[in-house]
Structure 1
Amino acid sequence: MVKFNKSAEFSFSCSSRILLGTVLAILVVFASIPFISNVYAAKPSLVLTIPKSDGILIHFAQQAFKEVSQRSGIDISITELPKKRALVEANMGNYDGTAMRVINLEKDYPNLVRVKSSVFSVQHVLFSSQEGTFEAVHSFHDLAEYVVKNNFKVGYLNGSKKAKDELSQLPLDNKIALGGPIQAFDLLKAKRINAYLAGPGMTNRDIFNKHYKGTGIQEVGVFAKFPLYPYLHKKHKELIPLLEQTLKAMIKDGSLNRIRDKLEKQ
């Protein structure tokens, strides 16, 4: 029989205790990692889409959501995509939502949930290719009758659900979906279309004033005015109450109007 002396037994016992203590310490460290990571976790972040054809409205969105970020603690950034793709990608969850779109998108994009505080109000404006046309037209019903009677063609932006709905009374041969405002104004200038239902009005007026004054193109008038809302993908719906609260505060203290007024004066 092998016998251990007391010294050897004591040494083995101490070594075992040290080893056991080390193992327990390691386990405590690993167990605490999730807690530490939660304490120091980065604040929530969102990437919202906006149509790249929105021009000056993009600058509004960037400035408005920068302030929303500062107030809410949500890190929000804006990315530009083609008008229809901006909705499709957000609905698929490839982005976290869309910055400013019309009400009732959920019918066609069921994964998007509306933030019920409007961030902006826009106009849909009609431009014509020559002076004197469309003067007696004051509604979409009048527009449909006038366009069909004269066999005219009206352009609108592809991906604009609102414009598509507004022109639903027109036969397919009397309307055409276009890639952006520049294409629309170019076609007006060349008289290849007779009218352009332009939205947002703020963006299109800015483009018209900078590049198309004196070309014979005329603004007929405002045909619609409506609010725009942010939408989040449903996986981020828990952030919606905080965004609504923040936007309501910015509406109440006039912050959103100040951002808009500053851009319009530039």
Structure 2
Amino acid sequence: MGSRPPGRGKIPFLLFVFWLLSGHAVADDALVINSGRGAPFATPQHDGFYDRLVVELFSRLGLRATTIKLPSERALINANSGIDDGNLARIRGLEKKYPNLVRVPEKIVSFEFLVFTNGLEFPVQGWESLAPYNIAYITGWKILENKAQYYRSVTRARDGPQLFGLLEAGRVDLVLYERWSGLWRMKRYPGRLRYLEPPLERRDLFLYVNRRHAGRVAALTDALREMKRDGTYQRIFDETLGVLLRPGNGSGGSP
């Protein structure tokens, strides 16, 4: 019997390990909806807002689905290429750049994009008011990439921990982030972190699915609307995001 060349057989094993680490260790029959958002939207325990919403939404179509967390830009690429089945939640119009994505037209959630600082205060009067400051935001957040055009310098971060690490280290004056994730961080890491009002922008966000699921868009739209009518959506919202509005969840302006 011939001997196996050294290292042969290791590559499939390494690919399997990479597959596990990339977040794709899910049942073969479960659809994978990825997100660039972590807690309180997608969590390792799968008890975040997106986690619970996706399970309920797809179950109403008789389908199993789960969420995975990926870097924001990678999440879009994977959904567009068909590696994953969909992506949430994003602003309308992404299909112009990612033609394999189809938007489910019923809103998933609204985001308010705020300025977060470590004690710095100034009047927020639109995007132009950021001009004197060193700012940072997360790569792949398209609205910020398009809108944040006024600054002394700009740094792009991989994710939330890296973003706020820049702020805590004093490498930037402020970071741009959405309200719910910012409130979650303020609750977990109390300190000088605060947010400034009013929001720079408010946008409705949507679920996008790969075009191979285009035939399910109408049913997903109807199911999401029914979840809002029967109170399921509000219950999930209150138990995952609404709790962050309770007193004692950090300092800063009022949500």
Larger radius of gyration: 1
Identical-residue share of aligned pairs (%): 26
Q: CA deviation at 1:241?
A: 0.8
Residues 38 and 69 in structure 2, CA contact (< 8 A), matched pair in contact too: no
* Residue 57 in structure 1 maps to residue 41 in structure 2: yes
Matched AA of 1:108: K
1:194 counterpart = 2:173: yes
In the alignment, does 2:219 pair up with 1:242?
yes
What's the CA shift for 1:243? Answer: 0.3
Per the alignment, in what secondary structure is the counterpart of residue 56 of structure 1? coil
- When normalised by structure 1's length, the TM-score is 0.73
**Unmatched tracts of structure 2, length 5 or more:** 1-28, 43-47, 245-255
CA contact (8 A) 2:58 2:220 kept: no
Q: Helix, strand or coil for the counterpart of 2:106?
A: coil
**Contact 1:49–1:98 at 8 Å: present in 2 too?**
yes
- Deviation string 1:23-43 (CA, Å, 9 cap, x unpaired) is xxxxxxxxxxxxxxxxxxxxx
Alignment equivalent of 1:174, drawn from 153, 160, 166: 153
Per residue, is there more helix in 1 or in 2? 1
1:252 corresponds to which letter in structure 2? R
Matches within 5 A, 1:49-128: 49-51=34-36, 53-58=37-42, 59-128=48-117
Matches within 5 A, 1:127-142: 127-132=116-121, 135-142=122-129
Q: TM-score, normalised by structure 2?
A: 0.76
Q: Which residue of structure 2 lines up, in the alignment, with residue 231 of structure 1?
A: 208
Mapped pair 1:48 → 2:33: yes
How far has the Cα of 1:131 moved from its partner?
A: 3.1
Shift of 1:224: 1.8
* Equivalent in the alignment of 2:14: none
Contact 2:124-2:200 at 8 Å conserved across structures: no
Tell me which amino acid in the other structure corresponds to 1:93: G
| Contact 2:120–2:173, Cα closer than 8 Å, also in 1 | no
CA offset digits 1:156-195 (Å, max 9, x no partner)? 011111111120x236x62111111222222212211011
Matches of 2:63 and 2:110, distance apart in 1? 23
RMSD: 1.8
**C-alpha deviation, 1:61, in angstroms:** 0.9
Whether the 8 Å contact between 1:78 and 1:99 is mirrored in structure 2 is no
For residue 230 of structure 2, what is the aligned residue in structure 1?
253
C-alpha distance in structure 2 between counterparts of 1:246 and 1:45, whole Å: 18
Q: Which runs of 4+ in 1 moved over 4 A?
A: none
Question: What residue ranges of structure 1 are gaps of 5+ in the alignment?
Answer: 1-43
Equivalence for 2:142: 161
Indicate yes or no: 2:204 matched with 1:220.
no
1:142-153 paired onto structure 2 within 5 Å: 142-143=129-130, 147=131, 150=132, 152-153=133-134
Aligned-residue offset at 1:238: 0.5
Matched-pair contact (CA < 8 Å) for 2:128–2:150? no
- CA shift, 1:103, in A, is 1.1
